[in-house]
Amino acid sequence: MRRINQLRTQVAIVGGGPSGLLLSQLLHVQGIDSIVIERKTKDYVLGRIRAGVLERGLVALMEEAGCADRMHAEGIIHDGTLISFGQEMFRVDFADLTGHSVMVYGQTEVTRDLYAAREAAGGRIVCEAEDVVIEGADTDAPTVSYAVQGARQAITCDFIAGCDGFHGVSRKTIPDHLRQEFEKVYPYGWLGILSETPPVNHELIYANSERGFALCSQRNANLSRYYIQCSMSDHVDNWSDEAFWDELKKRIPSDQADTLITGPSIEKSIAPLRSFVTEPMQWGRLFLCGDAAHIVPPTGAKGLNTAASDVHYLYHALRMFYGEGSENGLNTYSQKALLRVWKAERFSWWFSNLMHSYPDHTAFDHKMQIAELEFLRSNRAAQMAMAENYVGLPY
Ligand code: RFL
Ligand code: PHB
């Protein structure tokens, strides 16, 4: 294959998911040029249904990126969340405990708003880029090359942001002997559905039940997102809508189940749950952001938000470099990002352990979960620790 095109930019961004698009737009606002290289089509990227809860840090970044108008108009502020176990249910009041709230606004919408802003500004996004190769990341002249419709292209740049998710190429570009990976795979998955029905409650319900975990979430007044814990080997074809609703109702308190409005699902999928961190998050001029560097189980809604905190650190480091000529932010990026990543990992791991059923749990283990839930229900310090993590630790 022939190299037909040589492009130049300041920051080449591999991956056009929320991390890559947010970084690109923030850099643009500061007059720093970037090119986003994405493996999938625009429609595919915009069709993905994932996260639903935004911390204030991500809300502030969307504002700084000039992409917050629709989020503020359509997003829903949540001042607290509900936690149930069996028929018991209590509320953790984020606003009272921390002075902060979260924003319910889908990742799909965040991505859509960022995409629109990038396009309006004439930002360069290369879609359907195949066989992306990163070279010279440990030199002063890194390049990213890829093929589009059979033609090979190359970008020379100052820096590369690896925003290409868990299955991307960026992380694997860092030599094995310099990379350390930490992983925990949970013995269950989440079966999720989206339905055009009003949410069962105006707040989210995280439910611990002897039948397994359930989560009642939402996107807007007529769009609900529900999840139930399922086995890792389960398949969506095993779950009719009716079977899903029946099972969900058995896992939440009956007064909630009685008011649950059901309807046809418009999306149904199973996600495995894992915790994963790679260290370091930098190699030479390559910087990893978001799911490329770490994965959390979705309990606690930290995935997208932790991706956003990486983007925050990298964006400020690049601003410092281009604005003041200082490499200080770049040199400390990995250390700063990982400090916060591990706290999000701890919270998601703790909340997952507290809320799910485990195949190897004994009656004693179950009693421990209930005792911890009772403690959380009755203890303000415990609730404060939970709330501070949920609304997002400071950057
Ligand atoms: P993404 O979203 O995976 O985007 C990476 C992009 O890179 C592209 N790509 C490549 N491009 C070029 N060359 C390659 N070789 C490439 N390989 C991959 C991909 O096509 C893609 O477009 O990573 P990013 O941007 O770091 O964003 C991370 C978030 O998407 C993720 O952390 C969250 O969705 C996790 N998550 C949640 N996070 C929250 O903060 N709150 C939540 O409520 C929440 N709920 C969830 C979730 C994730 C879920 N699933 C499906 C895993 C609920 C679920 C069910
Ligand atoms: C979602 O709405 O998709 C969602 C909300 C909270 C979570 C995970 C997922 O903890």
Q: Tell me: do 125 and 51 sit in the same domain.
A: yes
Contact at 8 Å (CB) between 123 and 65? Answer: no
Could you give the angle at which helices 303-324 and 333-355 cross, rounded to 10 degrees? 170
What are the C-alpha distances in Å from 306 to residues 23, 56, 313, 374? 13, 12, 11, 29
Mean pLDDT over 291-299 rounds to: 98
Q: What is the pLDDT of residue 47?
A: 87
Closest residue by CA, ligand 2 atom 6: 301
Mean pLDDT over 232-253 rounds to: 97
Q: What is the pLDDT of residue 210?
A: 94
Task: Inform me whether the pLDDT recorded for 2 exceeds 70.
Answer: no
Q: What is the pLDDT of residue 5?
A: 79
Instruction: Tell me the ligand closest to 46's alpha carbon.
Output: 1
Mean pLDDT over 97-124 rounds to: 97
Q: 298 CA distance to ligand 1 centroid (A)? A: 11
| CATH number of 163's domain | 3.50.50.60
Strands (E), 70-222: 76-78, 80-85, 88-93, 102-104, 124-126, 130-135, 143-148, 151-156, 159-162, 180-195, 205-208, 214-220
Mean pLDDT over 155-179 rounds to: 98
Task: Inform me whether the pLDDT recorded for 1 exceeds 60.
Answer: no
Task: Inform me whether the pLDDT recorded for 191 exceeds 90.
Answer: yes
Q: 301 CA distance to ligand 2 centroid (A)? A: 5
Q: Select which of 105, 206, 322, 333 is catalytic.
A: 206
Which atom of ligand 1 approaches the CA of 169 most closely?
Answer: 15
* Ligand 1 pocket mutation, candidates 41, 50, 53, 125, criterion most atoms within 8 A of CB: 50
Q: Tell me: do 142 and 41 sit in the same domain.
A: yes
Q: What is the pLDDT of residue 183?
A: 98
CA distance 127 to 52: 25
Q: Tell me: do 226 and 317 sit in the same domain.
A: no
Q: Which of 292, 166, 184, 188 is nearest to 234 (CA)?
A: 188
In a domain, 88, yes or no: no
Q: Tell me: do 52 and 136 sit in the same domain.
A: yes
Q: Tell me: do 159 and 288 sit in the same domain.
A: yes
In a domain, 268, yes or no: yes
Q: Tell me: do 322 and 343 sit in the same domain.
A: yes
Q: What is the pLDDT of residue 388?
A: 98
Mean pLDDT over 251-280 rounds to: 97
Mean pLDDT over 129-158 rounds to: 96
Instruction: Tell me the ligand closest to 190's alpha carbon.
Output: 1
What are the C-alpha distances in Å from 217 to residues 47, 76, 112, 228? 19, 12, 20, 11
Asked about 115 being catalytic, the answer comes back as: no
Q: Tell me: do 71 and 213 sit in the same domain.
A: no
Quote the mean pLDDT of the chain.
Answer: 96
Mean pLDDT over 241-248 rounds to: 98
In a domain, 96, yes or no: no
Closest residue by CA, ligand 1 atom 4: 17
* Ligand 2 pocket mutation, candidates 200, 225, 349, 389, criterion most atoms within 8 A of CB: 225
Asked about 44 being catalytic, the answer comes back as: no
Q: What is the pLDDT of residue 4?
A: 64
- Domain tally for the chain? 2
In a domain, 93, yes or no: no
Percent of the chain with pLDDT over 90: 96
Residues of the domain holding 267: 186-273+357-391
Q: What is the pLDDT of residue 86?
A: 95
Q: Tell me: do 214 and 243 sit in the same domain.
A: yes
In a domain, 84, yes or no: no
Q: What is the pLDDT of residue 319?
A: 98
Contact at 8 Å (CB) between 19 and 289? Answer: yes
Asked about 206 being catalytic, the answer comes back as: yes
| 3-class secondary structure, 40 | coil
Residue type, 302: K
Q: Which pLDDT band, with edges at 50, 70 and 90, does 376 fall under? A: very high
Asked about 298 being catalytic, the answer comes back as: yes
Q: Tell me: do 297 and 314 sit in the same domain.
A: yes
What is the spatial order of strands in the sheet that 151-156 belongs to? 3-8, 151-156, 143-148, 130-135
| CATH number of 215's domain | 3.30.9.10
Q: What is the pLDDT of residue 49?
A: 82
Planar angle of CA 238, 240, 245, nearest 5 degrees: 120
Task: Inform me whether the pLDDT recorded for 393 exceeds 90.
Answer: yes
Q: Tell me: do 239 and 317 sit in the same domain.
A: no
Q: What is the pLDDT of residue 384?
A: 98
Q: Which pLDDT band, with edges at 50, 70 and 90, does 257 fall under? A: very high
Q: Tell me: do 22 and 120 sit in the same domain.
A: yes
In a domain, 244, yes or no: yes
Q: Tell me: do 343 and 368 sit in the same domain.
A: no
Q: What is the pLDDT of residue 181?
A: 98
Mean pLDDT over 374-384 rounds to: 98
Mean pLDDT over 194-204 rounds to: 97
Mean pLDDT over 72-89 rounds to: 97
Q: 136 CA distance to ligand 1 centroid (A)? A: 26
Instruction: Tell me the ligand closest to 199's alpha carbon.
Output: 2
In a domain, 94, yes or no: no
In a domain, 31, yes or no: yes
Q: Which pLDDT band, with edges at 50, 70 and 90, does 51 fall under? A: confident
